[in-house]
Amino acid sequence: MVEKLIDFLLKSQNTDGGWGTVPGKRSQTEATALAILGLHAVKDNVTAQSLGRGLHWLIEQQQEDGSWPVTTQIRESSWSSTFAIVALTVMGSLGPQLQRGVQWLLAQKGQTASWRETLRYRWAPQTMPSLLNPSLQGWSWVPYSASWVEPTAYALIALKKLRPFLDNGHIRGRIHQGELLLYDRMCDSGGWNYGNKRVLGEILSPYPDTTAVTLVALQDRQTESANQRSFQALVKMLEQTHSGLTLSWAVICSSLYGQKSTSWQTLLTESYKRTGFLDETKPTSLALLALVDERVSAFRV
């Protein structure tokens, strides 16, 4: 299967050096960064040239403000910058591009609510449509909008990976605030969904892929009871969910938490046989990481 995944990535690389979300689509930052991480985990002569072209595309796409757009045609700053930062870090490209990327990332702050909403949360949280602490600040999908779980988790992975090089009070503060937000958004049963644990009084369920990504972002706090409970929630959810994206993140998470994931790897292989991961670059790249990189160095912080 690993050979097939590598072959798919090599063949689906666009002529500009990037990868689209599926073959034939314009190159996209998230897909390209993940393909680079996947091929980097293989590290052989066959992938070297492809990796170089991918990295070149990534560096070329960086914008003046240090961010990356979603795709080549859309020039607005985007959440996918975090993937570019992780890819540059893993590739050892610690130059000015990375510094500008991190500066942009640190400048991004999800919008907090008004003082009225903050008071409401403090004194009458049951009256809020969505039960969440509105004063916590993580990262948003779109600049100048609300904080959500996934972009905050991605940002934490990027910043935590860079801590050995860029540790300072500001970065520590943003990481701490981001962690508080993630724990605040955790579902009652453990685990995370897109970012709401209760809406209009109804308890919402977690998603396995988001749970695994968030646990990866919180890997340095894995002994905390919230992490343990969420890991158990992930195990339970995986009894029902057997997709490439979810299983790949779960295997990566499991490795980082020192847990065995042999059965999930088997399911991952079966999922690929069944659907080919819909020819999507993202699960293909993550599966490569999950199956090849035992240390999961790409996402280890």
Interface residues with another protein (CB under 8 A) are 20-22, 25-26, 28, 30, 70-71, 73-74, 76-80, 140-146, 148, 150-151, 193-194, 199-200, 202, 205, 207, 209, 240-246, 271, 274-275, 277-278, 280, 283
Q: Please, what is the minimum distance in Å from the beta carbon of residue 135 to another protein?
A: 18
Q: Please, what is the minimum distance in Å from the beta carbon of residue 98 to another protein?
A: 22
Q: Please, what is the minimum distance in Å from the beta carbon of residue 39 to another protein?
A: 20
Q: Please, what is the minimum distance in Å from the beta carbon of residue 145 to another protein?
A: 5
Q: Please, what is the minimum distance in Å from the beta carbon of residue 108 to another protein?
A: 11
* H, E, C per residue of the chain: CHHHHHHHHHHHCCCCCCCCCCCCCCCEHHHHHHHHHHHHHHCCHHHHHHHHHHHHHHHHHCCCCCCCCCECCCCCCCCCHHHHHHHHHHCCCCCHHHHHHHHHHHHCCCECCCHHHHHHHHHCHHHCCECCCCCCCCCCCCCCCECCHHHHHHHHHHHHHHHHHHCCHHHHHHHHHHHHHHHHCCCCCCCECCCCCEECCEECCCEHHHHHHHHHHCHHHCCCHHHHHHHHHHHHHCCCCCCHHHHHHHHHHHHHCCCCCHHHHHHHHHHHHHHHHHHCHHHHHHHHHHHHCCCCCCCCC
Q: Please, what is the minimum distance in Å from the beta carbon of residue 107 to another protein?
A: 12
Q: Please, what is the minimum distance in Å from the beta carbon of residue 155 to another protein?
A: 14
Residue with smaller CB distance to another protein, 79 or 121: 79
Residue with smaller CB distance to another protein, 36 or 247: 247
Residue with smaller CB distance to another protein, 46 or 203: 203
Contact 244, 283 (CB under 8 A): yes
Q: Distance between CA atoms of 120 and 114, rounded to whole angstroms?
A: 10
Residue 195: what are its φ and ψ, rounded to 5°?
150, 5
